[in-house]
Structure 1
Amino acid sequence: MSHSQEPRARESSPLEELMDSFDKEMLQLNINACRSIVNYLDKKKESVERGDNSSDRKTQRYCLDPKVFEEARR
């Protein structure tokens, strides 16, 4: 038995490589979805702050209060 000082790279199977690729893609999709949600909330907050009444009152009732929104972003 001989020991080398350098760690050997572990070979991964095609299935492991596919799963790693899938994990990376799912992570990127989640990041993109979170960015989209935050962008939407930013635009909605700005609209509410401007007093934009173009949207339906029923919809505005469900808008996030700007104070709550700012706390959630921290």
Structure 2
Amino acid sequence: MKKKYLIASAPLSLGIISLMISRIVDSSVGSDGMLHEPLFFLIPLGFLFLFSGIIALLFVGLGSALNKKKKIS
């Protein structure tokens, strides 16, 4: 039972790590006013992992609650 929560929370933790790494890496503004972000791809990827982790945890939690309720009845 704990294993499915661990698997469902993996995208959530990957999203948090991706967003933290994107904040740590220095971005700079060029002389022409262009923003240079070396790891820009981590920002949308981090949000994608974050939201998919939240959805996965909700499904696992609701499935577990419904399963427990079915066993009681």
Q: Normalising by structure 2, what TM-score?
A: 0.47
The structure with the greater share of residues assigned to strand is: 2
Point out the structure with max Rg over C-alpha.
Answer: 1
- Tell me which of the two structures has the higher relative contact order, counting C-alpha pairs closer than 8 angstroms and 6 or more residues apart: 2
The structure with the greater share of residues assigned to helix is: 2
